[in-house]
């Protein structure tokens, strides 16, 4: 619905042409023409132009009527048809599209070429472009519709109104796009550090810095197979590191636990047993006994005997004494 403010903001020539769309051209011969002119002038008086009391306004109305009757239909019919025929590719540059439209229609409707009409024509072309962009956006799924309009530099308020989303949702998508751009900058920096290196090394560098595989493919210019090969090699490296770490841990554990019972020298056995007895006089708690024995570097094999079968210490001591 056209509002009063919208009518006031329209130039007289456009208001005249819009009224012509509701006329039956076949009824405008003879007295019908003059009657229509007077009726339209009266209607236009309500727009603030006071056409019926303005010589210039009446002349503009009569000339426009003559042009319409000469062609046989309203100018806006041709203009609106031309707008409807535009594709998104046609309106990528609204100013170029306007020039093309005027070239196509200007031969029939010479008044369209007037400088005072160019602003409204460009507005109409820009509106057609927006409608086409929104139509394409609505065919997309999820946030892609919002992203598409942002990429096409559609104003935020129009994105919100045309897609029926909240300002918060738009802000969320804008923030996501900003984060993606920041990640691209980060990856560019990472790639600079391995510039000139083999693909495998570059891919490994990106993977170890938590870059998404899709972005690696895009920015490092490699395929999925290259990434899979590097990941497999990295997994093998990790397994080897884990194996070596396990071996080292086992060695440290064995060193910490000390020798087995049969590997303890007799004199050491006697000394260890004496130390254990002193500790057991101090505490009967297994945890405390083990802690103090560990601090005294007593072999774990002997400590296990002490806490599980203390009487066996006597047997071990006798065996050590010969």
- Residue pair 213/224 in contact by the 8 Å Cβ criterion: yes
Cα 230 to Cα 214: distance, rounded to the nearest angstrom: 15
User: How far, in Å, CA of 144 to CA of 25, rounded?
Assistant: 47
Half-sphere exposure of 67 (CA within 13 A, CB side): 21
Map out the domains of the chain as residue ranges.
1-72, 74-165, 178-248, 258-321
pLDDT in tens, the chain (322 residues): 444 555 567 999 999 999 999 998 888 887 889 999 999 999 999 888 889 998 999 999 999 999 999 999 999 999 999 999 999 999 989 999 999 999 999 999 999 999 999 999 999 999 999 999 999 999 999 999 999 999 999 999 999 999 999 999 999 999 999 999 999 999 999 999 999 999 999 999 999 999 999 999 999 999 999 999 999 999 999 999 999 999 998 888 887 778 888 888 999 989 989 999 999 988 889 999 989 988 988 998 899 989 998 889 888 888 888 7
Alpha carbon of 238 to those of 180, 224, 231, 244: distances in Å? 30, 21, 10, 10
Structure tokens at 318: 């006798």
Any idea what DSSP says for residue 198?
-
Model pTM greater than 0.75? Answer: no
Which two three-digit tokens encode residue 114? Answer: 């007037």
Predicted confidence at residue 48, as pLDDT, reads 85
One DSSP character per residue, 81-111 reads: HHHHT--TTTTSSHHHHHHHHHHHHTTT-GG
CA–CA separation, 189 and 206 (whole Å): 10
Residue 3 is classified by DSSP as: -
Q: Rounded CA gap, 119 and 117, in Å?
A: 6
Q: Can you tell me which residue has the tokens 């636990």?
A: 257
Between CA 154 and CA 134 the distance in angstroms is 9
Residue written as token pair 């409807």: 84
Q: d(Cα 131, Cα 138) in Å, to the nearest integer?
A: 11
């Amino acid at each position: 619905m056209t509002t009063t403010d919208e009518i006031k903001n329209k130039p007289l020539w456009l208001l005249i042409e819009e009224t012509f769309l509701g006329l039956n051209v076949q009824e405008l011969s003879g007295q019908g023409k003059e009657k229509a002119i007077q009726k339209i002038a009266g209607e236009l008086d309500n727009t603030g132009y006071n056409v019926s009391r303005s010589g210039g306004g009446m002349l503009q109305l009569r000339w426009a009527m003559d042009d319409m009757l000469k062609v046989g239909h309203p100018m806006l019919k041709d203009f609106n048809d031309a707008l409807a025929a535009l594709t998104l590719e046609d309106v990528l540059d609204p100013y170029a599209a306007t020039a093309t439209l005027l070239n196509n229609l200007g031969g029939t409707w010479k008044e369209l070429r007037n400088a005072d009409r160019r602003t409204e024509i460009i507005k109409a072309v820009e509106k057609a472009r927006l409608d086409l962009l929104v139509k394409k956006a609505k065919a997309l799924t999820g946030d892609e519709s919002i992203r598409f309009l942002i990429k096409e530099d559609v104003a935020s308020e129009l994105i919100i109104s045309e897609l029926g989303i909240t300002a918060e949702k738009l802000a969320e998508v804008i923030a996501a796009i900003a984060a993606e751009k920041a990640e691209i900058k980060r990856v560019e920096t990472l790639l600079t550090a391995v510039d000139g290196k083999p693909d495998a090394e570059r891919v490994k560098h990106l993977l170890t810095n938590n870059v998404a595989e899709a972005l690696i493919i895009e920015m490092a210019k490699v395929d999925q197979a290259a990434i899979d090969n590097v990941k497999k090699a990295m997994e093998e490296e990790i397994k080897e590191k884990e194996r070596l770490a396990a071996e080292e841990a086992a060695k440290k554990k064995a060193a910490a636990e000390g020798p087995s019972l049969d590997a303890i020298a007799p004199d050491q056995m006697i000394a260890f047993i004496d130390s254990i007895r002193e500790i057991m006089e101090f505490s009967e708690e297994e945890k405390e006994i083990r802690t103090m024995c560990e601090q005294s570097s007593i072999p774990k094999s002997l400590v296990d005997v002490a806490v599980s079968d203390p009487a066996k210490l006597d047997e071990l001591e006798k065996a050590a004494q010969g």
